Structure 1
Amino acid sequence: MRRKGDLPEKICAQCRRPFAWRKRWERVWDEVRYCSDRCRGEAKRSAASAGDRRD
């Protein structure tokens, strides 16, 4: 058993906060970019609104 402090961490691409590895991300850890569904949704909304602003 690993201690929580020994788990790998990443920085969320949206909120810039660190988040730790989770068992459900075991197979896709290299692809995980956001700490939560909320951050993932905000990133999509900000990308969509940035596309609307292009002239």
Structure 2
Amino acid sequence: MNFRPKVGLPIKTCPVCQRPFTWRKKWERDWETVKYCSERCRREGKQKLAESL
């Protein structure tokens, strides 16, 4: 398997864990709407939002 460095791909920061994450092929169509780096962060983000209400 050949390794390709992720040079030139867009980067966002996850609002839950504050870690940077890069563009992935599966997010190709909706990269603008992607907010979280993982399912776990997505769930935690929704929990924090619900608790604050």
TM-score bracket for the superposition, by shorter chain length: 0.7 to 0.9
Q: Which residue of 2 aligns with 1:19?
A: 21
Aligned residues: 50
RMSD: 1.3
Gaps of 5+ in 2: none
Structure index of larger Rg: 1
Q: Which residue of 2 aligns with 1:7?
A: 9
Q: Which residue of 2 aligns with 1:50?
A: 52
Q: Normalising by the residue count of structure 1, what TM-score does the alignment of the two structures yield?
A: 0.81
Higher helix share: 1
Q: Normalising by the residue count of structure 2, what TM-score does the alignment of the two structures yield?
A: 0.84
